[in-house]
Each structure stands twice: as C-alpha cells, then as structure tokens.
Amino acid sequence: MQLKTLNGDVAKAVGRGDGQARALSDLLVRDTPVAYAFIAPAFFLLLFLVAYPFVLSVWLSLSDARVGETGSFVGLENFQRLLTSSIFLQTLQNSIIFTAAALGAKTVFGMALALLLFRIGRFKRLIRGAVLLPFIVPTALSTLVWWWMFEPLYSVVNWTLKSLHIVSRDIPWLPDPYLAMFTVVLVNTWRGLPFFAITILAGLVAIPRELYEAAESDGAGPVSRFWHITVPLLKPVLGVVILFSAIFTLADFNIVYVLTKGGPMNMTHLFATYSFALGLQGGQISQGAAVSLFLFPILLIVVFTQLRMVRRATTYE
Amino acid sequence: MNSAARWARRIRPVFTLYVPVTPFVLFALFPLYFMLVTSFKKNAELYDVNAVPFLIGRGVTFGHYELLSKDTLFWSWFLNSLIVSLAATVISVVLGVLAAYPLARLKFPGANSFGVAIFVTYLVPPSLLFLPLSTVVARLGLSDSLWALVVTYPTFLVPFCTWLLMGYFRTVPKEIEECAMLDGCNRLQTLVRILLPVAVPGVICAALFAFTLSWNEFLYALVFVSPAELKTMTVGVFSELIRGDIYYWGGLMAGACIGSLPIVVAYVFFLDYYVSGLTAGAVK
Amino acid sequence: MTRLSAPTVLNSRRVSRRRFLGTTGAGLAGVLASGKAPAIAQTRELTFLSIASFVPETDKELKRQLDEWGAKNKVKVRLDIIAHLQLQTKKAAEVQARSGHDLTALGPGLGDADLYYDYLADLNDVAADVAPKSGGWLNPNDYLIRGKWKLLPWWQPPFPMAVRTDLLEQLNEKNPDTWEDWLRIGKKGKAIGHPFGTAMGHSGDANVTLLSILWSYGGSYVGKDGRTITINSKETRQAMDFVKRLYTEAMDPEVLAWDDASNNRCLNAGKCIAIHNPISAYESAKKDKVLVPGTQREIAEVVDHINTPRGPADRKATTGFWCVGIWNFSKNQDLAKDFLRYHFQPDNQNKWVDAGHGFNMPFLTNLTKHAVYKSDKQYRFIPEVAKVTVPPSWPGPTTAASQQVWDLYIIPDMFAQHATGKMTADQAIAWAEKEMQEIYAGRKRRP
C-alpha cells in the first residue's frame, strides 16, 4: 500500500514533460483569477460581517470598553486581572474539566457507536435516524427538557432510580457541585454524540475491506485489527472531528446557562457563561471579552497545527 | 456447516450488535420521548409529584398544542424560521460550492491562508461576536427584519459548508473535469455541469447541516429581530411561554415537538445522502 | 389553563412579511449605497420593549393603553415583549448599535441606569409631572442615579412569606414573625417531610432573600456612600450562622440549584411549608386548581401570605425594581415622554394594577392603597411589605457596581459556601469582600 499526495501527481506529470501535462499546468496558472472570482463572494461576506466584528472583539478584550463606549487601550490588563479572580480561575478549571470529559466521552462512545452502526444491517435507517435526533432537535428547547428531567422535585431520573430501588433518596444532580458538572457533561455528550458517531462512521466506511481481509489472513485478531488498521486510518477524521468539537464545546453557553447558570457556587461556570455574567449583565464588556478570548492564542496554534496535518491530502493506492 | 453453527451465526449479531446499540438508542431517544409525553399531559398530572413521569395516566390533552396554536403567534414564528433557514441555507451552500471548488481543485496563492482563515472565524464565540455584529446590522439598516438573519447566518454556515464540500470535491476523480475542459468548457461550466451532478450527496449533506444550524440558532434571532410577528420559532416560544417565574412546560414541550418536525422530516428523506456525503467529505 | 391572547395583527403581519419578501431587496441596495438606515418619512412612530409579565393580562393592558394613546396622537406604536432573562442581552446590543427601541424596560434592578447612564434620557420633568397626582413617589431618593432621574421606577413584586396554614396548625405554631421563628418551624416541618425553602443558588430569589436576612441581622455589604465595602462585620457573621443553621436544619440541599420558579413549584407540589416569594405561586395554584397531595382540597385555600420576617436588628426586604427608560439615541424622545405621562396617570395605573391582580405594584404612594390589595385576604400584607422594601444596594445608592454584585450572585455564593461547609465564615466573608472590592475598584470613574 502506498500513500501519495495529490501534489505529487501533478509534480510527476509536469516533470514528465508530456504535452498533456503541460496543458494541465498551463490551465493551473491561468486559473488564479478564476479561483479568486469563485472565492470572492464568500471572502467578502466573511470580510465584512466577520472580520470587522472579530477585530472589534479582540480590541474589546484589550481595552477598558463598556457597552457602547469604545474605551481606550489597556494592553493585557484585563487578562492580568482575570488571573487574580478566584471566580475566573474556577471557571478556567471548570472549562478544562468540562471539555476534556465531554470530548473523551464523545470520542470513546462515538467510536463505539460508529463501529456498531457500521456493522448493523437491519433497521439501518431507523437506528441511524434515531441516533441522530439529539443533534437535530433545537438546542435551546432540548436543554429545557433535560433541565426538567433533573429538576429537584420532578426529576424523572430520580423517580426511576428510586422505583428501581437503586437509591433511596433523591440524588442532588444540580445542587451538588460535582454532580452538576457531571450533569452538564452528560447533556453535552448527549447532544454531540451523533455528530461524532456519524462522522467516524463515514471514516470507517472509507477504509478498504482488503486491508482487513489481508490482516485477517495474516492471523490478526479483531482487537489487533482495530488498533493497527482502523485507528491509524481514522486519524484524519478523528483529528478534524475533535478539533471542531473542542472549539464548540469550549464555547458552549446554552447548557450551563439553562441548567445551572454557572452555579452552584460557580462550580460549573464556563467561559461563555462567565463572560455573559461579567460582560453583558455587568456591562464590563472588555472583561467579558477577555474571558471569552482567554484561550484564543492557544486555540489558534491548535487550529494551525491540526489543519496542517489534515490538509496534507492523502490518497490510498 | 451444521445447523447449530448456522443458528449461532444468525443469533450472534443480536448480542454483539443489537443489544449493545440499544443503550445508545435509548439514551438518544429518551429525552425526546419525555418531551412528547409531557406535551400531551394535563397540567394537574404534570405537576403532581406522585404521578408516573413516563406515562400519561390521566388522559391525553391537546390543550398545550391548542394554546400554542391559537393563543400565540406560533405558526408565524414557524414560518419565519422556515423562510430564514431556507434562505440562509441556499446562500451558504452556493457560496460554499463556489469557494470549495478552487480550494479543492486549483492551486493559487493564498489558498492555504484562506483555508485556515475560514476556521479562525469560529474561534470567537457568538456570545461575544453578536455585540459588534449588532452594530454592523444596525448600520446596514437591517435591524428588526428577517434580512438581518438571512445575512448573518451564512457567517457561521459558510465556513463549515466550504470545508465539507472541499473534502467532498477532492474525492471526485479529476479526469472527467479535465476531459471537459480540454473539450473547451470553462471552469464555471465544468463546475455546474460536470462536478455538481456527481457531488449531489455532498451538497445535500452541506444543505442539511446548514438548515439544522439555522433552524436551531437562537442568539442572533433574539437580538436582531424584535417585532412579535417576525420572531423565529425558538425565540417566540421562549418569550411567550416563560413569564417571570412561571414556565408553561406543556406549551414549551409542544413547541419543541412541532419545532423539531421539519428537520426530522428532512433527515428522514435525506439520511442516506447525509451519511454518504460525510463519507467522502470527511476523509479526504 | 392560562389563556394567552395573541395580538390580532393579521394585516400588519402580512404586510411586514410581504414587505420583506418584496421590496427590501431594492431597499437594501439603496441602503448600502447611501450608507445609513432609511428614514421612514412622515409617520410618527414609537416602539417599546418590555418583558413578558408573569400575569399575561398586564401585557395586554399595557398594549391597550399604548394603542389607545397612539390612536389619540396619531402615532404608530409597537410593543415588543421578550422573556426577562433575555432583556440584558437585547439591551446591550441596542446600546452597542445605538439603535433599537425608544422606550425600554430596565431591570431587574435600578443598576441598569448607572450602567447605561450615558444612553438614557433625563426624566426629571416626567417624574415631577407624574408624582403629585398619585401621592408622590414612595422613596424618591432611592430612584435617583447620580442625583438624576434617568428612569421611572415602574413596578415591583413585593416578597411576603407564603405559608401552609394547615401544616402550621399541625405543628402547633401561630403567627411566626421573625427569621428565628421560621428556622424553628422549618426544622419541625423538615422532620415531617415539609422543609422550609429558599433559593441559595444563582437566581434572583436567592439575592432577594439572603439580602433581606443580611439586613434583618443588621449587616450590609456597602456603606451609605455607595463605595465602602462593609461586609466584614459581626452582624454579617450572625447572619451567616443563622443561614447555616437554616440550611442544615430546616432545608433540603436542593435549594442550592433552585432557580426563580423552584420555590413556586415546591410550595405548589405540597412539599415546602413556607417560601419567601411574591404571590405568583399562589396565583398559579389558584388557576391550575392544584390540590394538596392526597386530598381533594385546593392548596390555594390553605396558603396564607404574611409579612416578610423581622430579624434582631430590623425588618427589611428587597425585590426586583423594574423600571422604564428612554434611550437618548431614540428619535422620538418627546413622544416617549408623552406616553409615559399618559401611562403613569392615576386611572391608567389603576387599570394596570388591576390587570396584574396586585402582582405588579407601582412605586406611587396612592397606588399602594389600591383596592386590589383588599380584594383577596392573601394580599393584605403586600402594602406592608412594600413599606420595608429597599433597593438591593441599600444603604448605598444604586450604582453599576452594586448591580454587578447582584448579577454575579456574590451574596448567595458567600452564604452558600459557608452553609455547605466549603468555607469557614471568615473565609467566606473574606472571599466576598475581595470579590466586591474588585468589582467596586473596576468601577472608578475616569476623570
């Protein structure tokens, strides 16, 4: 099995000096203006509607602006002040735990679900559709359902556990700080699992069967096949899915806001919810922006490196 | 192979596949089942601590749906969400297709940077971005009209659609395009007449994603549109059915049920395209 | 089932959508070319952003008054309602964009006016015009922001104590009046499965009740100058110890996760023996004909509302101070002021309070004597509670900093951290002091 890069194709063709290859490379050079023309609409949309607010958001975090005022530049003072705030440090810890736990759960269970979906023959459509539903239902409303399911008085979860005699008293899902974090991670996993499962499934479908058959005839068992064929070949897919999910999970607002509002005692505050409380409710937009963008430099580096790895388009031979 | 082995072979998948997948299906469906049941429960039973939460013991009621339908502008909101989502989806897919093609096929200066820049736009969360964006929207005179949403939604839809379609286009063999071009087609014709028909699954996949994300969007719809009759579905439901410290649970769940229907219907029809669209797109 | 009623704006609905689908395309091109929002020539317009009131009839009455005024003065009017939790987001966006509604609800505190001081129109004249006919404002100084009228205090839901009289009888208790009484009752009630309940998490109710307790024990968090942090005191420690006992002996741990609606549910589900809450719980129990579990009796019949409790030092409470203001970037400020004068006229206020069944109490003296408070035995203490209700920033003036202390739930967290044993009283007070100092420091005015 050989892995080649697409670039290699063209390079070889050009190097060969064929008439056809020369026509190809001519086309390539001539196409730069065409490429720009095609990209232009998207480019301008993003430039006007994203670049300007984006730059302004970054400016906000580096200034002492309040709502409506532009404020003046203060450098990294907002970030420094955050590092001395106990609520922010708690938020930082919460966010890391939340993202790590949710990503871990989604990766592991997503992989398991994908493997199952891959092999299921009967009721394929039904099962895949059912599994996709959490992703489809409007988030604002599905989070409300979860809140109602854990609501101290009427919690159906507690009712079930008590009926099955697994517990004798109500479990304080939302009032207890650690259980509250568990609950929030659970809801995020519920919502994000379909995305992981279906995308990994797509990756699984693309792995050629011959590889498995060859390995099997060489005597490799299912576990060995999984670790030495499936996982390595899924790396590009996993890479992109985890990257996307990390960005969106870190920025999650709705779940914590509806379920706990950051409590109890700030133990479930995430960047987005704390930024909301600080910036929008308190009017300290600049500090709220600093909270939101705290991980921005790190995320930028992560995005760069991940994309570099994934964009090296690989083809199978 | 004797009959025992054959029987074992047929039964085994039940245990190694269907049994393990059941918890996943239950986990995914349970809250939605609960949503459905709650929307048909009478208030008295809903708020009774001793009632069984899973089942409707004291009679089904359509009262919550009636409340939603007659006493609120629910159907207007529904229509607004539909209009906005469809429009935003069309725009995003078109822009995504146009942008994905050069990124997938052509080499030109700035290709790499543009690809990364697209991703970087996701790093500023909407919970922060909406503030400066509201200034832009106001200056364009779009406040309080559905246009504000149709114009701003593509900002978070286009990058994802582009990425998805880019990956998908790469899996289509280049030869057919090259033949067409050597026969005299220009790039645009090649894209529309040759590549798109083959890439239909990818396009449908991108469209479904875009529609889902638009339909579920809450923040921009809340901030940019105020008039009652122009609200989108989730914003409207929230503002009418959460009053002070009273939540109209039955109505909220009814709204959630009806509100999920269009997308569920869309996915039922296009599920296969969705999966196959991701299949090629995600890997390459 | 509560009936909500949609405004019958069929025609305007169709027109607005047709306008969108048809002509906005051309308009957009023109707008982009000219670079600013098109002015709608000639028609006078007024827009009002308000929150969905707990009693839907209140919104309807407000709309009716707005429509009536609009017809009389030939002004096109629009009332937009959003959920109260989303008001903050919307306000920030409108201020940031310098464009939005003319009149806006502000709240749930007066602090908004300090926060948006530079964007609100002066209302000194309207305040002065409105007061005399209604017996004057309750506590005029409370509503001044940096010495000026930047908003009109609009309505408040006073917080009496709602109690299950049947359970009180069962426990042989009568006429509880102090916070200590409630601790004793709660303890007895918890033993028979009916604990006391008051929110201690991130919710408005938690802020209200815990501040009330703090003040009732003689403590406070800020001084009269509105700048000195006074939380570190013997009285605060007394209050903290009381709340710790209340939490461990008389309440269930779930109160740490309660939102504003949870205590309503606790009472109406028959669980809680008493809650510190406006009459909203009682009202919804009446409407839904909720029964005492295991009986055929309506719970509304055995609920009574009595005065907010007294502490060793004082009887004090607070609540959400909902206000209304006019953005100074509005192009219709005079029209807006005119409507405010119209809405705050005694007969319109009377009708409005009527529609709210006494839930929304204005800040005008005569209206605290409105007949609705005698219409139901339950409401008899509401005016009394209003008398001892002060803004959350008491004893200091309302500032953006005091508002932020409210918004970040510093007081509830302080009490909760000690009550759950996470911190000692000294640690919790030190934590709160530090947080508040940070907040107040960040608020120093630039010269």
The alpha carbon dihedral of A179, A183, A188, A193 has a sign of positive
Which residues does chain C have within 8 Å of residue B43's beta carbon, measured at their own beta carbons?
1, 288
SS3 B218: coil
Same domain, A302 and A153: yes
Residue A1 lies in a domain: no
Inter-chain touch A85–C435, beta carbons under 8 Å = yes
- Residue carrying structure tokens 């709602």: C162
Same domain, B152 and B76: yes
Q: Are residues A56 and A166 in the same domain?
A: no
Name the amino acid, one letter, at C283.
E
For B158, residues 6+ apart whose C-beta sits below 8 A from its C-beta are: A42, A45, A46, B92, B95, B96, B99, B118
Residues A132 and A42 in one domain: no
Yes or no: say if A103 and A246 are a contact pair by the CB < 8 Å rule. yes
Same domain, B51 and B103: no
Buried b (16+ CB within 10 A) or exposed e, C263-282: bbbbbbbbbbbbbbbbbbbb
Q: Are residues A268 and A151 in the same domain?
A: yes
> In chain B, whose CA is at the least distance from the CA of C13?
B229
Contact list, A176 vs chain C (CB under 8 Å): 253, 256
Distance of CA C45 to the CA centre of its chain: 28
Burial class (CB in 10 A: 0-12, 13-18, 19+), C74: exposed
- Could you tell me which chain B residue has the CA closest to the CA of C279? B245
Which residues on neighbouring strands pair with residue C152, listed in sequence order?
A: C324
Last residue of some domain: B20, B38, B61? B61
- By mean pLDDT, which of A163-172, A192-201, C34-43, C274-283 is the weakest? C34-43
Distance from CA of B4 to the nearest CA of A (A): 22
Which chains form contacts with chain C, at 3 or more CB pairs under 8 Å? A, B
Q: Which of A55-59, A66-70, B22-26, B165-169 has the lowest mean pLDDT?
A: A66-70
Does residue A82 sit in the same domain as residue A201?
yes
Residues A233 and A93 in one domain: yes
Whether residue B45 is found in the same domain as residue B89:
no
Q: What is the CATH number of the domain that holds B102?
A: 1.10.3720.10
Looking at residue A237, its pLDDT comes to 77
* B202, HSE (Cβ side, Cα atoms, 13 Å): 29
Residues B15 and B33 in one domain: yes
CA distance C219 to chain A (A): 21
| Coil vs helix vs strand at C411 | helix
- Cα–Cα distance list, A115 to B16, B162, C302 (Å): 11, 28, 58
Residues in CB range of A195: below 8 A, 6 or more apart: A110, A135, A241, A245
Confidence of residue C14 (pLDDT cuts 50, 70, 90): very low
Residues in Cβ contact with A79 at an 8 Å cutoff, skipping those fewer than 6 apart? A61, A290, A294
Contact B136, A49 (CB under 8 A): yes
Q: How many domains does chain A have?
A: 2
Judge if B166 and B264 occupy the same domain.
yes
Task: Give C100's contacts in chain B (Cβ within 8 Å).
Answer: 138, 143, 226
For residues A169 and A228, state if they share a domain: yes
Residue A56 structural domain: 18-61
- Same-domain pairing of B40 and B157: no
- Going by their DSSP bridges, the two strands C103-106 and C45-51 should be labelled as parallel
- Closest residue by Cα to residue C36 from B104, A283, B140: B140
* End-to-end Cα spacing for chain C: 56
pLDDT of A9 above 70: no
Residue C323 has pLDDT above 80, yes or no: yes
- Average pLDDT of A21-40? 69
* Alpha carbons B218 and A115: distance in angstroms, whole number: 34
Let me know: does B109 contact A26? Beta carbons within 8 Å.
no
Q: Is A67 helix (H, G, I), strand (E, B) or coil?
A: coil
Look at residue A220 in the predicted model and tell me its pLDDT.
77
Q: Does any domain span residue A3? A: no
- Mean pLDDT for all residues in chain A: 79
Q: Give the model's pLDDT for residue C39.
A: 46
In tens, the pLDDT along C118-148 reads 899 999 999 998 888 888 888 888 888 888 8
Is residue A263 in a domain? yes
Least confident of C226-235, C299-308, C372-381: C372-381
The pLDDT value recorded for residue A2 is 32
Torsion of CA C417, C423, C427, C431, to 10 degrees: -40
Do B208 and B249 fall within a single domain? yes
Closest chain A CA to residue C91? A280
Separation of alpha carbons B109 and C399, rounded Å? 54
Q: Does C366 touch chain A (CB under 8 A)?
A: no
Say if residue C321 is exposed, middle or buried (CB neighbours under 10 Å; 0-12, 13-18, 19+). buried
> What pLDDT is recorded for position B216?
86
Q: How far apart are the C-alpha atoms of C6 and C316, rounded to whole Å?
A: 39
Q: Are residues A178 and A217 in the same domain?
A: yes
Instruction: Please provide the distance, in angstroms rounded to a whole number, between the alpha carbons at the two ends of chain B.
Output: 42
pLDDT less than 50: residues of chain B: 282-284
Q: Which two tokens stand for residue A113?
A: 């679900």
| Mean local confidence (pLDDT), A189-215 | 84
Residues B41 and B79 in one domain: no
Shared domain for B243 and B123, answered yes or no, is yes
- The whole-number pLDDT of residue C217 equals 94
Exposure class string for B38-58: b at 16+ Cβ within 10 A, else e? bbbbbbebbbbeebebeebee
Give the tens place of pLDDT for each residue, C400-435: 888 889 988 999 999 999 999 989 999 999 999 999
Instruction: Please tell me the predicted confidence (pLDDT) of residue C232.
Output: 93
Same domain, yes or no: B88 and B39:
no
Q: Is B238 on the interface with C (CB under 8 A)?
A: yes
Q: Which of B36, B61, B86 is the last residue of a domain?
A: B61
Residue identified by tokens 């003689």 is: C218
Task: Return mean pLDDT, chain C.
Answer: 84
Nearest Cα to A306, choosing from A232, A247, A233? Answer: A247
Q: How far is C313 from chain B (nearest CA, A)?
A: 31
Q: CATH number of the domain that A201 lies in?
A: 1.10.3720.10
Q: How many independent structural domains does chain B possess?
A: 2
Instruction: Quote the domain boundaries for residue B32.
Output: 2-61
Domain boundary among B20, B40, B61: B61
Statement: residue C4 has pLDDT above 80: no
Say if residue A178 is in the same domain as residue A275: yes
Task: Please tell me if residue A86 touches chain C, with a CB cutoff of 8 Å.
Answer: yes
d(CA A262, CA A270): 7
Do B251 and B164 share a structural domain? yes
* Cis bond before residue A264 (omega within 30° of 0): yes
Residue of B nearest to A135 (CA): B212
Q: Are residues A43 and A159 in the same domain?
A: no
3-state SS string over A199-250? HHHHHHHHCCHHHHHHHHHCCCCHHHHHHHHHHHHHHHHHHHHHHHHHHHHH
Same domain for B253 and B238: yes
CA pair distance A177, C420, nearest whole angstrom:
11
Contact between C340 and C104 (Cβ < 8 Å): no
Q: Which DSSP helix (H) or strand (E) runs through C162? A: strand C161-164
Domain membership flag for residue A175? yes
Chain C contact for A20 (CB, 8 A cutoff):
no
Nearest C-alpha neighbor of A71 from the set C96, B223, B38: C96
Chain centroid to CA B195: how far? 25
Decide if A13 is inside a domain.
no
The pLDDT assigned to A12 comes to 46
